Structures are given as structure tokens and as C-alpha cells.
Amino acid sequence: MRHDKAVSYAGINLNVIQNNVVKTMVETVSAAYPKKIVINKKWCKGCGICAGLCPKVLAMSNGGKAIVVNQPLCTGCRRCESHCPDFAISLKVETDE
Amino acid sequence: MNNVVPLTRLMQGNEAIAEGALAAGARFFAGYPITPSTEIAEILAEKLPAVGGKFIQMEDEIASMAAIIGASLAGLKSITATSGPGFSLKQENLGFAAITEVPCVVVNVQRYGPSTGIPTASAQGDIMQARWGTHGDHPAIALSPASVQEAFSLTVQAFNLAERFRTPVILLADEVIGHMRERFVMPDASDINVIDRKKPPAGLTRYYPYKPDEDGVPPMANFCEGYRYHVTGLVHDESGGPTTKADQAERLIKRLNDKIMDHLDEITMTESLMTEDAEIIIVACGAVSRSARRAVKQARKEGIKAGLFRLISVWPFPDKEIKALSRQARSIIVPEMNLGQLIGEVERVVRSETKVSGINRVTGEMITPDEILNAIKSEI
């Protein structure tokens, strides 16, 4: 069964997910620990590098800035953070310490 | 009365390795055929699917190593088998498995090298590569069987150590052991001790994949069992996300090392034959130790106080034990089928406590008992 239109499940936007396997994976497995992508709108110049690297989680808003569209899908790889030329995007991870 | 007769038959070393893998619960093999390890792949190709496991012949040894890492992350005990040239190819992914702490077993049935070498001849030329083949600071566990029976039991032990310490483990066999046939007795299933990886409890709101328990080993959640996390070869913090912070990098690398080095009592395996009062001690491993055993026995018959100290675990190297022997013996002889790899470690530990000399054969043939016996006699 293919999902061609936006489907929402448990707050996860499945717009970008095309096949059952990935849908099942995302449904049954949740992020191991709390994390949050934080974008500094003042510093973001809308270059699109982060969204290009991670189209599932990030997108460019109408105003031309990076926005988070799917926080639950974030795996914490920090590629967005390490590739931003202006240090405008970062991942905040809650630790036990 | 029913008499259960244990399975006893003539078995090839490689076959024993395959059987050992199955007995340990291995359910995934990815590999590429290479003499003298191919029989392991052939046998597992037939037997793994029969027990619900999976066998994939990959395009090369690099992909094989990658595949077994993936399979292990998905929850299967996984194994690959190769020889020298393939072992060289695997090094980068071996380092990846080490830093991502993915349990797996890599069998290297050593052959004559370097490069293509002599595929059907035996050697022990990969001893140092097993320790330092992959770049960076990492510990290593390598086990060296000296018989077909031990090829079975050490394969099981390799899996146990891999699961216990979340690390790749190398089974460092050689062509002689891999291809020889010997009497083998299949242990009863109840006599085979199998260790599985520590897992976190289900339903945690916070699971940090690289947060260690007190023993330095983090519980491992398999993929698709409830926790999504990132696995990277980049230095990472306890959440698995990459970091370049100095204190976190040091913490990770030191923990990876201490994870192994703080638990030598669980890892180190050696065998001593008549070393209690020995004046001349042979230090050997693998096929060479078989010749050494005969030489030592013969020497004793001739009244010479010789002994054999056999390394079953080659890495980590048994510093403590060798040091103790060096205080007792007046001569240590290290026969190896290479130009001298184990001997460097022996010398490092022994320093000037006693004389250390080597017997080095690179003809592709076994070092004979007579060669070792003559060396013992020349020390008198």
C-alpha cells in the first residue's frame, strides 16, 4: 500500500514516507532519548544546506528560513548542525547528567 | 536402556568452526570465499537457512564486514570468515565495529602472505595485524585454536566475548588447523555455555546507547526493538551523536580500551604444559604449538626441564603470565611461522629478565618438533 498523500500518525507527518516498511518502523519505534532541534532565526540565512541534507525532518519555510517539520524522525546524527555555515541550527539532547 | 552416544567423528577444522558458530547461536553469515576458509562459508550456506538463519555471499570482504555489523545491530549473532587478503580488506570496518561496539566474530584462517601469497600454505603472519590492522587506538581480542576440537570451542567463546564486551572478536586460525581433520566430539548442548548481549529494559523514556554500566559495557538495544538511535564511526557521546569535545573523546577511547583491559580475567586463556619447574619455556600458539608440545615431551624424556606455555588468547597479550615465567625460566623460545611477531611482545614484557630467542619459518610448512627440540637442546 503506497502513501501518496499526507498521513498523520501519532504526531508524525508521513508525507515523505512512501512505503509500508518505513511506516511500520516509525510507528513501532520511538526516539531513544529526548532531543530537540533549535534554529536561531536571526542567524539563519536560508541557504537550505540543512534541509537539503535532511529533507525528512527539515524544510524551508515560506519566509525562507529553515524550520523543523518532523522532530520525531530526527536520529540525532548532527549533520545539520555540523554543516550549517552560520551555526544557526543545533541539536539539544537531554542527558541524565 | 537407551544409551545416548555423543556425536564423535572425524571433522575438519573449518567445519568445526562452522558448527561452533551454529552452537553459539549465530544466525547470520556474510562473506566471500577465500582459501583456506571457504569451507566455513560453504557449510554455513547450507546449515544456516536450515536453522532459520541467513547466508549472503557478498561482493567482497569489505561488504561482508559491513553486512555482519548491520546484522548484529539488527539483533543477530553474526560471523564472517576469510584469510589474509580478505582480512586486510576488512580492517576499516573492523575499526567501525570496535568504535560502534557491535559484537561480531571475524574468522581469519591465516595463509602464507603477504598479498596473494600461497593460498594453500600455512603461516602465522597476521598476528600483529589482528592487533593493529585497523587505524587508531582500539583494543583487540584474538583467539588461536590449536586443534579441531578447540576450533569449535573457541568459536563459541569468540561469540561469548563479542556479546559480553560488545566488540568484534577475531578467531585467528591458520591453514593447518582449518584444513586438518581430527577426532571431534560434539559437546552436549547443556555443556555449551552461551552468552547473549546485555539489553536495556523495554519502555525506557531515555535510552543512551553508549552509556556504560559499571563494567564499562553499554546495554545494547537491537534495531527495531523500541529505540531509535544513531550509530556512527565518528567519536560520539553517550547518546551516540558525534562530538569533537576533548573530554568526551578521551572518555570514549579510554572506556573502549578499559572495557577489555579491565576484564582480562574473563578474556585471557592460556595452557601450560610442564612449566612448573621448567628452565626452558616455549611460547607458541596455533598449529606451531602442536609441534612444540611434542618437542617438550621429548625433551622431558631426555631429562631436560622444558615446558610449553601456549597462548589460546593471543590478544590481549598475557603480560602478567609471561612476566612470571620469565623470572623462572633461563630461556624462552618463541617458534612462529613468520619472521617474528609474537616475539616482540614477549621481549617487551620480559625485558632483560631472561634470554628470549625465536624460531622463524616462512617456507609455508610447519615448524617440526625436531626443530624446536634442537633449539631447546642448544639452550642447555
For residue A4, pLDDT beyond 50: no
With beta carbons under 8 A apart, name residues in chain A contacting B212: none
Min distance B234 CA to chain A CA atoms (Å)? 10
Is B211 part of the contact surface with chain A (CB cutoff 8 Å)? yes
Give me the domains of chain A, ranges plus CATH numbers. Answer: 1-30 (no CATH), 31-93 (3.30.70.20)
Which residue in the set A31, A34, A94 is minimally distant from B228, CB to CB? A31
What's the pTM?
0.92
Torsion angle (degrees, nearest 10) of CA B83, B89, B92, B96: -50
For residue B265, pLDDT beyond 70: yes
For residue B173, pLDDT beyond 90: yes
CA distance B64 to B78: 10
* Phi and psi at residue B86, to the nearest 5°: -70, -35
- In this prediction, residue B353 carries a pLDDT of 95
Mean pLDDT of chain B: 96
For residue B317, pLDDT beyond 80: yes
- In this prediction, residue A3 carries a pLDDT of 42
Cβ–Cβ below 8 Å for A30 and B232: no
Min distance A53 CA to chain B CA atoms (Å)? 16
Domain ranges of chain B: 1-267, 271-377
For residue B224, pLDDT beyond 90: no
Closest A-chain CA to B221 = A32
Say if B1-267 and B271-377 have the same CATH topology.
yes
User: Do B336 and B342 meet the contact criterion of CB atoms below 8 Å apart?
Assistant: yes
Mean pLDDT of chain A: 81
Cβ–Cβ below 8 Å for B230 and A29: no
Between 3.40.50.970, 3.40.50.300, 3.20.20.10, 3.30.310.50, what CATH number should domain B1-267 receive? 3.40.50.970
Cβ–Cβ below 8 Å for A76 and B229: yes
Cβ–Cβ below 8 Å for B228 and A32: yes
With beta carbons under 8 A apart, name residues in chain B contacting A25: 224
Between 3.40.50.920, 3.40.1160.10, 3.40.190.10, 3.40.50.300, what CATH number should domain B271-377 receive? 3.40.50.920
- In this prediction, residue B79 carries a pLDDT of 98
For residue B217, pLDDT beyond 80: yes
Enclosing H/E stretch for A27: helix A20-28
Q: Is the dihedral of CA B297, B302, B305, B306 positive or negative?
A: negative
Cβ–Cβ below 8 Å for A78 and B221: no
Quick: pLDDT tens for B35-83. 999 999 999 999 999 999 999 999 999 999 999 999 999 999 999 999 9
Q: How confident is the model at residue A8 (pLDDT cuts 50, 70, 90)?
A: low
For residue A27, pLDDT beyond 70: no
For residue B202, pLDDT beyond 90: no
From the candidates A26, A30, A33, which should be mutated to test the interface with B, based on the most B CB atoms within 10 A? A33
Min distance B238 CA to chain A CA atoms (Å)? 9
**Stretch B154-175: mean pLDDT:** 98
Q: Rg of the Cα trace of chain B?
A: 21
Calculate what percentage of chain A has a pLDDT beyond 70: 68
Quick: pLDDT tens for A40-97. 999 999 999 999 999 999 999 999 999 999 998 899 999 999 999 999 999 999 877 5
Cell matching residue A72:
520525531
Give residues with Cβ within 8 angstroms of B72, minimum separation 6: B28, B78, B102, B103, B104
* Phi and psi at residue B87, to the nearest 5°: -65, -40
Min distance A82 CA to chain B CA atoms (Å)? 9
User: Do B221 and B210 meet the contact criterion of CB atoms below 8 Å apart?
Assistant: no
Is B226 part of the contact surface with chain A (CB cutoff 8 Å)? yes
**How high is the ipTM of this complex?**
0.80
